[in-house]
Amino acid sequence: MRQQLLEIFHRRHACHLFQADQALSRADLDYILEAGRLSPSSFGLEQWKFLVLTSAQDKQAMQEACFNQPQVGSASALVVILAKIAELHPDAPYLQALLAREYPGAAYAPALANYRGFYGAVDVPAWSVTQCHIAAANMMTAASAIGIDSCPIGGFVAEAVRQQLDIDPSRHEVALVLAFGVCADAPPTKQRLPLSDLVEHR
């Protein structure tokens, strides 16, 4: 398991062109989405919504909204991760239901008071997007584990994506587009700095 997981991380790479004729099975797609669903989130608020696009028309329109990156149009499926905004307001029923789940009974009232303070102090859309990125990483790792390639796409024009998908900007921020499929190119050699450059043991 120890070694297998590292191999899964090594196998995942940002694919820049997919084999457009390959379909992603519903079972594989659900497996990937389940990894997103099980991800950790701040206050347990599951700040994400996953929009799945598989039609050629939707993928082509999204490619245009993503600076014409060919991995978007050639992917078997796109998962557009939307970050919740309006539902995170302290008075929103969604927020209160999930906070009560995380902090049941007597813990709820102080947790809500604490959350109100937090909500007023942070950039809520940016904070929400960071949670979505954790789900994205887990989905790409899960895809790699079942032999599916991926590419995270942060290069998009948010307004164009919102228009294409009819997203209300007061409700959702576009966090990331994930492209999944079978890569047409051979994976490049992994390039990473050594741990000695990244880690300081104190």
Ligand X SMILES: Cc1cc2nc3c(=O)[nH]c(=O)nc-3n(C[C@H](O)[C@H](O)[C@H](O)COP(=O)(O)O)c2cc1C
* Minimum distance from residue 175 beta carbon to ligand X (Å): 9
Residues 62-101 that bind ligand X (CB under 6 A): 69
Interstrand relation of 172-181 and 48-53 (parallel, antiparallel or unpaired): unpaired
Cα 75 to Cα 87, 150, 171, 197, distances in angstroms: 31, 8, 27, 35
155 makes contact with ligand X (CB under 6 A): yes
| Per-residue contact flags (x/-) with ligand X for residues 156 to 185, judged by CB under 6 A | --------------------x---------
Q: How far is the CB of 49 from ligand X (least distance, A)?
A: 18
131-155 burial, b at 16+ Cβ within 10 Å, e below that, comes to bbbbbbbbbbbbbbbeebbbbbbee
Which is closer to ligand X, CB of 29 or CB of 179? 179
The least CB distance from residue 171 to ligand X, in Å, is 22
Q: Is 96 exposed, middle or buried (0-12, 13-18, 19+ CB in 10 A)?
A: middle
Binding mask 124-153 for ligand X (x = CB under 6 A): ---------------------------xxx
DSSP designation for 91: T
User: Cβ(124)–Cβ(88) under 8 Å?
Assistant: yes
- Interface residues for ligand X in 10-29 (CB under 6 A)? 13-14, 16
Pick the closest to residue 46 from 55, 56, 36, 54 (CA basis): 36
Report the residue number, 41 or 96, with the smaller CB distance to ligand X: 41
Cβ at position 140, least distance to ligand X in Å: 8
Can you read off the two tokens belonging to residue 118? 């937090």
Q: How far is the CB of 99 from ligand X (least distance, A)?
A: 28
CB nearer ligand X, residue 44 or residue 154: 154
Q: How far is the CB of 14 from ligand X (least distance, A)?
A: 4
Distance of CA 160 to the CA centre of its chain: 18
Binding footprint of ligand X on the chain (CB under 6 A): 13-14, 16, 69, 151-155, 176, 190
